[in-house]
Amino acid sequence: MSSVPELAQVGFAVQLKFFAAHGFFVQDRAAVSPDGVLYLAEQLGLDAEAVNHYDFSGRTARRHCSEILQHLGFRRLRRDDREQLTSRISDELCPSGQSVSAMLEHVFLW
């Protein structure tokens, strides 16, 4: 089995790149491309097998996700954010007659 630091490094790298590609974090290692893991591990000089021992739903993985979001500037929605979003939806999107899926896409991009 891989050492804990190596395990954490590979897991962190997988979470970061998966989030960058898909917009959400890995919940299950089956969702991760073995070729992608191999590539990341080679770039980091680590053992790709370490990902098989990384618990994507564990405490360390949740901490990694939190660190990634914080680094990228994500934060929890505040009251004024919610008010701005509500105003934007009601004033700009609803009157335009967009479909719900189009409005959701617009909101997520906002």
Domain ranges of the chain: 4-71, 79-109
The dihedral built from the CA positions of residue 102, 103, 104 and 105, taken in this order, carries a sign that is positive
Instruction: Collect the ranges in the chain with pLDDT lower than 70.
Output: 1-4
Residue 3: predicted pLDDT: 60
Answer for the pair 17, 31: CB distance below 8 angstroms, yes or no. no
Answer for the pair 47, 10: CB distance below 8 angstroms, yes or no. yes
Residue 94: predicted pLDDT: 77
Residue 83: predicted pLDDT: 86
Q: Helices 4-22 and 59-71 meet at what angle, rounded to 10?
A: 50
What pTM value is reported for the model?
Answer: 0.70
